[in-house]
Amino acid sequence: MANNKKTTIHDIAQKLNVTASTVSRALNENPRISENTRKAVLKAAKELNYEPNQIASALRSGRTQLIGMLVPNINRAFFSSIIRGVEEVANSLDYRVIVSQSSEIFENEESAVKAFLNVRVDGIIASIGKNTENFDHYKQVLDRGLPLVLFDRTTADLQTSQVVIDDYQGGYLATSHLIAQGCTRIAHFTMERKIDIYKERYRGYTNALLDHNIKPDENLLFSGNLQLEDGREHTLALLQKNQEFDAIFSASDYAAMGAMQVLKEKGLKIPDDVALVGFLNEPFTSFTDPPLTSVNQFPIEMGHTAANLFFDALHAGKKKVVPKKTVLQPELIVRASSLKEKH
Amino acid sequence: MANNKKTTIHDIAQKLNVTASTVSRALNENPRISENTRKAVLKAAKELNYEPNQIASALRSGRTQLIGMLVPNINRAFFSSIIRGVEEVANSLDYRVIVSQSSEIFENEESAVKAFLNVRVDGIIASIGKNTENFDHYKQVLDRGLPLVLFDRTTADLQTSQVVIDDYQGGYLATSHLIAQGCTRIAHFTMERKIDIYKERYRGYTNALLDHNIKPDENLLFSGNLQLEDGREHTLALLQKNQEFDAIFSASDYAAMGAMQVLKEKGLKIPDDVALVGFLNEPFTSFTDPPLTSVNQFPIEMGHTAANLFFDALHAGKKKVVPKKTVLQPELIVRASSLKEKH
DNA sequence: TTGTACGCGTTATCAA
DNA sequence: TTGATAACGCGTACAA
């Protein structure tokens, strides 16, 4: 069946007694072509089962229709959903997405960007690694005039478009909700990093307290890696220090999960004794017992936005547009872990 | 800083007063070159900040170092872990992975494969969509002599390498474990599809019963889409029909989760009244209450294996090797949902 | 061991 | 509107 030799525009040209350039024009919606030859070319192309060679096209035109996408971890629901969002937009415009993951390792991040540049991607969409403090590899991308869009984990050191969610608002929403449920002694689990997102969530938490005339208490603040184990430790510490508390707002669902485990082990009722709110809206949050209230970051929409910003920059081309920063509003998904009976 | 013009092998050649072909050979570990010039070229390349243009190389050599990877859903833990596994191997060999998702829609699957061929990937690693019954697009890949590796969702209609887990063994392990816990009335949730995997799990279930002299009972068998809602319905049906049962083996964690919810709502104790085993080992299984026993499919290892099979086929080149089928052994992860007190 | 010459398939720039 | 020609950057027979 399948021809061993792939047909090229020359084959089509030969068949129609025209030149390859005419065929190329016909295939690329070039206006400098008559409607008749255009139709003839399209017909012949179909007959000969022509498939364009994008590599040759890329070499000549300098455009590969490839987007390099860099994420810390592909098998985290948040990131894979963002990839999905980017893909949806990209594929609809006939672009392909190349994915690499840094695994939060700086060297991987550097080499992935370099690899992207070597395959001559048309641009890069990336989320910065936790421990990255040097951005030269990203600057190289910008120096080459390629679009670079950052999402979620961004930095002010790079003058480029970015999309984040309003982490402050997320922290504020979560905390206000707990206060509305009657909680006044609200602990917070956070992480100390250069990354802004945790600071913002913490700021939202603090301001929500202040706005409701509750004085933030340092004894209720815990910093760690926000993994399940950290949540367990923080909660045990809370209990051991005999701190009075009636709620926990964790900047990550995993640490919230650790808290839930410990609270249940100690016989405390959720949410009546301690109300619980996480952050990320990981898939598992609806499967815990009780289901965990959390902050949804709309990852698919974030992917859509990142892709749109990318194509904006791409189409702007040389004439450097002002980088745009899009801030998405998060949503508090209220579940049983924080919803007290009407009081 | 960054040169606007990217340096090519010609620039290096000029600087060293040699020809581009010499530079090319030096850069490609071609043996037909003296050690001296090789070193000189490498030095000059570094000085001029040379980065190879993989597009030009691909056009000339016919190899893009790109692997097209097709999955039903990128944001399912099982699949994103497999992607991760493939990436690890591929990147270490300087290959990049292009990911597309079919979303279980046949047309997407077709167009993704076509897009892969257009960018001239060196081969494809894919998992077949649920509803796919026509494999012509995959046959085209094979006709072109490109490596094609199928994972998890495979078909006997295609003569190509594949990697699956031993679903039969998974079903057998799960069921035997429940029997060892003293269960004799074990319900099974399955799905009716052309895909083999569910049939195999069911076969494992049946044979485990028979091997322990338990007669399979059709009244304990439920077929659906294996989503949470299906699990709920099946369990309610079990209870309403007043069927005697002391365990449920669900071919999916989601349906098992639905069962867990209903059982708890009805005041039944897990595992004492009803023991519960799922399949997939989704991340959430360790966060449920009680944690859910499940069958681990080692997705990352599956990705490694798929990549290795891919490179086997790639290196075999034209001399069509016999397609290999690798069967990975699953592992039962025993958690509290099925672990009864010693009896 | 190195150079010469050409081609991979397409697109861009002329000129007609 | 179409054709002729060159070029994108690299790899590889073949010759030297």
Domains and CATH numbers, chain A: 9-52 (1.10.260.40), 61-165+299-329 (3.40.50.2300), 167-297 (3.40.50.2300)
Residue B44, Cβ neighbours under 10 Å: how many? 20
- What does the mean pLDDT of chain A come to? 93
Cα–Cα nearest to B91, from B246, B311, B340: B311
Q: Give the integer Cα–Cα distance in Å for A339 and A335.
A: 6
DSSP bridge partners of B101: B71
Candidates A94, A98, A257; nearest CB to B98: A98
CA distance, residue A243 to nearest chain B CA (Å)? 26
Distance A4 CA to C6 C1' (A): 23
Asked if A151 and A127 count as a contact pair (C-beta separation under 8 A), the reply is yes
Judging by beta carbons within 10 Å of its beta carbon (0-12, 13-18, 19+), is residue A88 exposed, middle or buried? Answer: middle
B21 Cβ contacts chain D strand, under 7 Å: yes
pLDDT for B342 equals 62
Cβ atoms B123, B307 nearer than 8 A: no
Pick from A119, A140, A144: CB nearest B96: A119
Question: How far A18 CA lies from chain B's nearest CA (Å)?
Answer: 24
**Confidence bin at A275 (pLDDT 50/70/90):** very high
DSSP H or E run through A148:
strand A148-151
- Rounded distance between C-alpha atoms, residue B250 and residue B272, angstroms: 17
Nearest CA in chain A to B114: A51
Name residues 87-146 of chain B within 8 A of A (Cβ).
87, 91, 94, 96-101, 112, 114-115, 117-120, 140, 143-144
Q: How far apart are CA B323 and CA B128, in angstroms?
A: 17
- Locate A219 and state its tokens: 């004894």
* Helix then strand then coil, % of chain A, to nearest 5: 45, 15, 40
CA dihedral B234, B238, B241, B242 (to 10 degrees): -170
Distance CA A152, CA B170 (A): 39
Determine contact: B227 vs chain A, CB below 8 A: no
Residue A318 has pLDDT above 70, yes or no: no
Instruction: Report if CB A18 to strand D is under 7 Å.
Output: yes
Side chain identity, residue B186: I
In this model, does residue A343 exceed pLDDT 80? no
Instruction: Give the nearest partner residue to A75 out of B1, B51, B84, using CB atoms.
Output: B84
| Nearest-by-CA chain B residue for A4 | B144
Q: Is B118's CB within 8 Å of A52's CB?
A: yes
Confidence of residue A242 (pLDDT cuts 50, 70, 90): confident
Alpha carbon B25 to its chain's center: 38
Q: Report yes or no: A309 and A126 within 8 Å, Cβ to Cβ.
A: no
A54, A74, A264 ranked by CB distance to B119: nearest: A54
Provide the pLDDT confidence category of residue A321 given band limits of 50, 70 and 90. confident
Show residues of chain B in contact with A115, CB under 8 Å.
Answer: 91, 94, 96
User: What's the CA gap between B182 and B271, in Å, rounded?
Assistant: 11
Radius of gyration of chain B (CA): 26
Taking alpha carbons only, the member of A54, A88, A57 closest to residue B114 is A54
CA of B247 vs chain A CAs: smallest distance (Å):
20
For residues B109, B112, B116, B119, the Cα torsion angle rounded to the nearest 10 degrees is 160
Beta-carbon contacts of A94 under 8 Å, excluding residues fewer than 6 positions away, are A65, B115
Nucleotides of strand D within 7 Å of the protein's CB atoms:
1-13
CA to C1' distance (Å), from B137 to D14? 40
Chain A touched by B223 (CB under 8 Å): no
Q: Which nucleotide is nearest to A57 (CA to C1')?
A: C10
Estimate the crossing angle of helix A253-265 against helix A228-240, to 10 degrees.
Answer: 50
> Of all nucleotides in the shown strands, which has a C1' nearest the CA of B59?
C8
Instruction: Give every residue of chain B whose pLDDT is below 70, as ranges.
Output: 1-5, 194-195, 318-320, 342-343
Cβ of B56 and A59 within 8 Å? yes
Name the token pair of A246.
């009636």
- CA–CA separation, A211 vs B198, rounded Å? 55
The residues near B15 (Cβ < 8 Å, ≥ 6 apart) are B44, B48
B66/A119 touch (CB, cutoff 8 Å), yes or no: yes
Query: Is the full-model pTM beyond 0.85?
Result: yes
| Nearest to B45, CA basis, from B20, B78, B71, B77 | B20
Cα separation, B29 vs B38, whole angstroms: 9
Query: What pLDDT digit, counting tens, does each position of A76-132 carry?
Result: 999 999 999 999 999 999 999 999 999 999 999 999 999 999 999 999 999 998 888
Shortest Cα–Cα distance, B322 to chain A (Å): 21
Beta pairing, strands B148-151 & B221-223 = unpaired
Cβ-based contacts with strand C at under 7 Å: A 6, 8-10, 20-21, 24, 27-28, 52-53, 56-57, 59-61; B 17-22, 25, 31-34, 36-37, 59-60
CB pairs below 8 Å between A and B: how many? 126
